[in-house]
Amino acid sequence: NAGVMQNPRHLVRRRGQEARLRCSPMKGHSHVYWYRQLPEEGLKFMVYLQKENIIDESGMPKERFSAEFPKEGPSILRIQQVVRGDSAAYFCASSPPTGSPQHFGDGTRLSIL
């Protein structure tokens, strides 16, 4: 019974490059959430998606960041033209249609050189 799968675990990018983070939800879960944890900070909500729909993206920066959860395949969080301030741990969670409980993946640690 696989849990939430995120990859890669660690990602290093140079300023100006693109970062793609992937998340496969738990089996039977149709809702995906992305959260970001900056160094020494708490987790902050970024975006909430269901299959092919963005439900709430109020926590996602308006520029350079985008997210999708296609009909087939994992959810993708995409960061274009990365900057040093994007360095953080990005956690994906999934839940059943009831919204609870949310289970988290191991996270992707993004480092920007």
The letter for the amino acid at 73 is G
Binding site for other proteins (CB under 8 A): 31, 33, 35, 37, 41-45, 48, 55-56, 59, 89, 91, 93, 95, 99-107
CB of 42 to other proteins, least distance (A): 4
Which one, 8 or 99, has the nearer CB to other proteins? Answer: 99
Which one, 9 or 18, has the nearer CB to other proteins? Answer: 9
